[in-house]
Amino acid sequence: MTQKTALTPSTHTAPPAAFSHGLRKGNVLQVAGQVGFLPAEEGRPPTPAGPTLREQTLQTLANVKAVLEEGGASWDDVMMLRVYLTDVDHFAEMNEIWNAYFAEHLTQPPACRTTVYVGLPPGLLIEIDALAVLD
């Protein structure tokens, strides 16, 4: 039997429902949709890193990375990133932030990506989830 392990970085706020921030089973690691919430602080409700796309994108990427690392993985193991934006006009800026970020975080080919424009809860501009396959 292969164990299914929940991945819960200490920086993360509790999920708002019965789901895991991350799971690893065998060589598959799944990261739930992450948003730009700051590291959890006792007594403070989930708080976005700021109102801008830049702040939220960088925090969201940091939150995905924390789950990956909790499961013994890195960006290099990621096969797919799904990016949910709320506004088509954010695409170019998100790509700039994305390219600068990954220029410093990869030693292997970058993940695949799908970007679509959806509704998100008020105040949130971006959500990202990830599927990784480890060696």
Q: Which one, of 23, 126, 40, 44, lies nearest residue 83 by Cα? A: 126
| Per CB under 8 A, 122 contacts a second copy | yes
State which residue, 10 or 18, has the beta carbon closest to a second copy: 18
Angle at 69 between CA 96 and CA 76, to 5 degrees: 55
Q: Are strands 28-34 and 4-7 parallel, antiparallel or unpaired?
A: unpaired
The structure tokens 């954010």 sit at 90
Candidate residues 9, 12, 22, 58; the one interacting with a second copy per rule CB under 8 A: 22
For a second copy, the closer CB: 42 or 104 = 104
x/- site string to a second copy, residues 85 to 104, per CB under 8 A? ---x--x---x--xx--xx-
Beta bridge partners of 133: 28
Q: Which of 10, 14, 16, 45 binds a second copy (CB under 8 A)?
A: 16
Closer of 42 and 135 to a second copy (Cβ): 135
Output Rg (C-alpha) for the chain, integer angstroms.
14
Instruction: Please state the closest distance from residue 122 (CB atom) to a second copy, in A.
Output: 7
Measured distance CA(68)–CA(133) in Å, rounded: 11
From the list 39, 40, 74, 117, which residue makes contact with a second copy (rule: CB under 8 A)? 117
**Residue 111 touches a second copy, criterion: CB under 8 A:** yes
